[in-house]
Amino acid sequence: MAMSDEGAILIEEAREVVDRRKGIVKYAAVVSGFRALNPILGILREVIMAHFLGVKAGADIYRFVVDRVLVELYTKVEKLLQPTFLPLFVARQTLESDAAAFRFANVMGTLLALILAVIAFAGAFWADKFTAIMLHYLHEDVENFQLAVLALRFTFPFLVFYCLSNLLELLLQSYANFTLPALAETLRRVCVVVGFGTVALITRHPTQSDVVIAAILGAIAGIMLRLLVQLPGLRGKVRYMRPSLQLSNPDLIKAGILMVPLIAGVMFALARSWGETLVAGRIGEGMLAALGYARKLLDQPWQIIAYAVSVVIYPFISELSAKRERSELAESLLSVFRIMVFVFVPTTIIMMALAGSLARGLLGFKGEDLKLVLSALLFYLPGLTIFALEEPTLKWFYALGNTLVPTLLGILADFVFFAVLLSGVFVFEAGLPAFALALVISKTLKVLIVYAILHFWLGGLPWGKLKQFVVHMLITSLALSLFMALLHMLTPSYEAKRLLHLAIALSGSLIGYAFFGVSAWVLRMPEAITVGRFLWDAFRRRLSKVLAISHR
């Protein structure tokens, strides 16, 4: 009888593992499906922006107001809430009830709104002084300086709604609703593109001010839509939602304790971003814009997979951590490592070979503007795999209930960043490559230390299982590098027509991935076989639907 009970328990645990893995695949597919549109929308935004603003003051102003202030502050609030609010809310919800969990959510939301309102008021009030510090070169350009101040004052109040939309996102994720948050973020990006595009429709010859104002309005509309789209997902919980200042809430106190080390890390990360902005603003016009274009081309490939995996895997590894299943945590960590390396090492090689055609074909730059963007992009690209690994890997620390170590590592990385940046710009006069190398070197050091610590905490990562994978990756990467080098030799000069370079970038990428895929298939790499089967099954399902429709 005891053996029978034990067998039943083992069968039930096995079913849980299977269901968990199916859940990860399902939700990752949903999130990835929506986020697959985001790179397209992001690139479309960059194309329109490059056409109207180029590498000029207007582009600097947009980057500063939207990317470096609004989005940057939102991101920092997100980094505070995600590892602290979500686990506590889910725990209270599981152990007690929705009503108890929402008592915590209500006081957290009320405090967040009040704090953000103060920040927004201060930012709007001192917008002129903040702009003068960050975009120093605008001292000599009164018209653009006033435009930057106006844009900053107008957008700051919407920081409150932007960050509250993140709280709604976390609430929905706690109920395993990943679809609405992903849809909301996609719609926000659509509004940004529409904001840029509207100018082209209503104004025959838009001025720089017209474009910047339209883009800012699009960003604000996207923020409000992001908030409103998620509200219906909580319609069954509205009866629990109300303003509250119950500061004695035990979960609020726990969240505050967890946030203490995170706040320090967030402040350093914000200082890094704004310090980078300040240095770029000191160098001169277009530096911040060129960095932005380079980062957008770099970020689009990894954000689909890395972000989707990090969002979806977090609840599942939190469960593994609660059950103290260290071996499964270690195996899962290396599985994520293999996926990221398999996808982003070839992506790095392909983008390095086609960087010029990408920037020329997609953004339309040539001459000095093209050289400026490439001087950042080519030095950012070696860090692509590291950037992809960072976000999902840090989730293991949060799942283990540790926010201090990631914070300390982030602070260490920020010190390294500033050391490389300041010496590169002001000592070696390296210009934009110093910005890129500072980020790559600091992030690489951080990720290496992260894996070393997790190796120790999880009782040793099974690195020995990666020997064959590493050998196969070296062979396929070397073959791909030689192939892309030959392909690069056939590309025309950067002064050739934009459409030609766009065709080269697209066809070259497809050919490069096909070459890598075939190489990996020949070596019988499990990742290649899995991806190949997935694509073939997807193609067969699509074909069967088409045939079924045609027979009706």
Answer with the one of 257, 277, 297 that is the final residue of a domain: 277
Residue 3 in this model has a pLDDT that exceeds 60: no
Please indicate, yes or no, whether residues 237 and 100 belong to a single structural domain of this protein.
yes
In angstroms, the CA 405 to CA 261 distance is 9
Q: Residue 6: which domain range?
A: 1-35
Across 521-535, average pLDDT: 77
Q: pLDDT tens digits, residue range 421-472? A: 999 999 999 999 999 999 999 999 999 999 999 999 998 999 998 999 999 9
| Contact indicator for 396, 454 with CB cutoff of 8 Å | yes
Q: 507-513 long-range contacts, Cβ below 8 Å, gap at least 24?
A: 508/350, 508/353, 508/354, 508/357, 508/484, 509/350, 509/354, 511/487, 512/346, 512/349, 512/350, 512/353, 512/354, 512/480, 512/483, 512/484, 512/487, 513/346, 513/350
More confident residue, 32 or 146: 146
Mean predicted lDDT score pLDDT of the chain: 87
244 and 163 belong to one structural domain: yes
Residue 171: its pLDDT value, please? 94
N-term to C-term CA, the chain: 57
List of residues 6+ apart from 62 with CB closer than 8 A? 49, 53, 151, 212, 215, 216
Residue 121 · residue 186 · CB < 8 Å: no
Residues 185 and 168 in one domain: yes
360-384: b or e for each residue (b if 16 or more CB lie within 10 Å)?
A: bbbbbbbeebbebbbbbbbbbbebb
| Number of separate domains in the chain | 2
Are both 205 and 257 inside the same structural domain? yes
Per-residue pLDDT, averaged over 184-204, amounts to 85
For residue 39, pLDDT beyond 80: no
The radius of gyration computed from the CA coordinates of the chain, to the nearest angstrom, equals: 24
Q: Is the pLDDT of residue 15 over 50?
A: no
* Contact (Cβ atoms closer than 8 angstroms) between residue 298 and residue 377: yes
Q: Which tens digits make up the pLDDT trace of 298-326? A: 987 777 677 767 766 776 787 777 777 78
Find the mean pLDDT for residues 489-515. 93
Q: Is the pLDDT of residue 381 over 70?
A: yes
**pLDDT attached to residue 303:** 73
Instruction: Give the confidence band of 17 by pLDDT, cuts at 50, 70, 90.
Output: very low
For residue 535, the model assigns a pLDDT of 61
Q: How far is CA 294 from the centre of its chain?
A: 15
> Of 318, 436, 450, whose CA–CA distance to 389 is shortest?
450
Same domain, 137 and 239: yes
pLDDT band at 16; cut points 50, 70, 90: very low
Q: For residue 94, what pLDDT is reported? A: 83
**Residue 225 within any structural domain of the chain:** yes
The set of long-range contacts for 198-202, using a CB threshold of 8 Å and a minimum separation of 24, is 199/52, 200/48, 200/52
Residues 21 and 156 in one domain: no
For 345, the token pair is: 């090492």
pLDDT of residue 336: 87
Task: Give me the DSSP letters along 231-281.
Answer: GGGGGGGGGG------TT-HHHHHHHHHHHHHHHHHHHHHHHHHHHHHHHH
Q: Helices in 427-466 by DSSP H: which ranges? A: 432-457
Residue 105 above 90 pLDDT? Answer: yes
Is 196 within the bounds of a domain? yes
End of a domain among 226, 248, 277?
Answer: 277
Q: What is the pLDDT of residues 60-72, one digit of tens each?
A: 999 999 999 999 9
Residue 306 lies in a domain: no
> Exposed/middle/buried for 448, CB within 10 Å: 0-12, 13-18, 19+?
exposed
Q: Convert the pLDDT of each residue in 147-162 to its tens digit.
A: 999 999 999 999 999 9
User: Which comes out higher in pLDDT, residue 103 or 532?
Assistant: 103
Same domain, 14 and 79: no
44 and 27 in a common domain: no
The amino acid that residue 146 corresponds to is Q
Q: Are residues 130 and 13 in the same domain?
A: no
Of 403 and 5, the one with more pLDDT: 403
Residue 18, domain member (yes or no): yes
Q: What are phi and psi of 496, to 5 degrees?
A: -65, 170
Q: Is the pLDDT of residue 537 over 90?
A: no
Instruction: Provide the H-helix boundaries in 367-431.
Output: 367-380, 384-399, 404-422
**In this predicted model, what pLDDT tens digit does every residue of 353-363 receive, in sequence order?**
999 999 999 99
Is-contact 55 369, C-beta < 8 A? yes
- Pairwise pLDDT comparison (309 vs 250), residue with the higher score: 250
Question: Taking the model in full, what pTM does it have?
Answer: 0.84
Domain match, 105 and 195 both:
yes
**H or E element in which residue 120 lies:** helix 98-125
pLDDT (tens digit per residue) in 385-435: 999 999 899 989 888 878 789 888 989 999 999 999 999 999 999 999 999
pLDDT at 37: 77
Instruction: Specify the pLDDT at position 82.
Output: 86
Residue 18 shares a structural domain with residue 65: no
Both 2 and 92 in a single domain? no
Per cent of the chain over pLDDT 90 is: 64
Per-residue pLDDT for 104 more than 70?
A: yes
What's the pLDDT score for residue 494?
Answer: 85
